[in-house]
Amino acid sequence: MKTDSLFYRLFQEWPQLALELLVLPYSGDSYRFVSEEIKQTGFRIDGLFKPTGSNPEQPLIFVEVQYQPDNDFYGRFFTEITLYLYRQKPAKCWLALVIYPNRNTEKAACVEFKPFMSLPQLQRIYLEDYQHQPALTPALSLIQLIACDQQQTIALAQTLTRQCELLGAEVLNFIETVLVYKLPHLSREDIKTMLALNDIELKQTRFYQEIAEEERQEGRQEECLALVKRLLKRRLGIHPELDQALSNLQTMPVEQLEELAEALLSFNQISDLMAWLREQEK
């Protein structure tokens, strides 16, 4: 599961989540979550919360989601932070937030960076601590949805779906994304049934719209393929080579099929088709 991308999407939509994790007294709309390249270097900070206002007390927040054990993680993380501060000179205090699935994933910093580990600016969150916590805020429940096991995922997704009016329509999109990542065997109908969605609610979600667009493209491809096959048979007649060529068209995208439909008007023999197909492979 691409858990880091789930978190980064979560932080983009709801910056207040990081603030709640760090117990900071600022509103979510006072920060924006960005990826920022460090000047004159090849480094890029993937997760950075930057204050949107002029409050000098609001810190920069560097965020990393670390799901794989990495002996060099802290050396790399603190190097990127200090290089960013040196190059960008933001004139602000800062915090560093690291999110682990559990304590076993975290590896000790190498000796050169051990002094950094005692800094009060470093905050570590372990998702295992959130798996069974009751009475979480609605926003933190989205983090719990990522952290929990498969059986909990279904129950929590159903609970959160009932709160969508309170949290906003984008929550439903996020819930469906998590379900697709964590439970890839589920079909669109399974998700609809599981979350007790009606057709109107389902059609408003990004997941449904993406599936619907895929189905439309598949329908266009089938129609275009059938037309091209009829035109080729009419233009070139029946040949064993043509049957083989037609079977190779099954996976051709609709744009190429449309190009072939135009090109075949100038074909006079089967060799013209074969030459066109070879040209597409280059």
Q: How much of the chain is helix, strand and coil, in % rounded to 5?
A: 60, 10, 30
- Residue 188: the pLDDT is 67
pLDDT at 90 over 70: yes
3-class DSSP state for residue 257?
helix
3-class DSSP state for residue 35?
A: strand
Region 113-124 average pLDDT: 94
Question: What's the pLDDT tens digit per position in 125-178?
Answer: 999 888 888 767 777 888 888 888 877 888 888 888 777 655 566 777 788 778
Q: Quick one: average pLDDT of 98-114?
A: 93
Distance of CA 248 to the CA centre of its chain: 33
HSE-up of residue 210 (Cα within 13 Å, Cβ side): 8
Q: What is the rounded CA–CA span in Å between residue 29 and residue 194?
A: 33
Environment class of 107 (CB within 10 Å of its CB; exposed 0-12, middle 13-18, buried 19+): middle
pLDDT at 255 over 60: yes
pLDDT at res. 277:
80
Beta bridge partners of 94: 60
- For the entire predicted model, the pTM comes to 0.65
**Average pLDDT of the chain, as a whole number:** 80
pLDDT confidence of residue 77? 93
pLDDT of residue 208: 52
- pLDDT, tens only, 191-250: 777 777 655 455 555 555 555 555 556 666 777 777 777 777 767 776 677 777 777 777
Sheet architecture: strand order including 44-51: 31-37, 44-51, 60-65, 94-100, 122-126
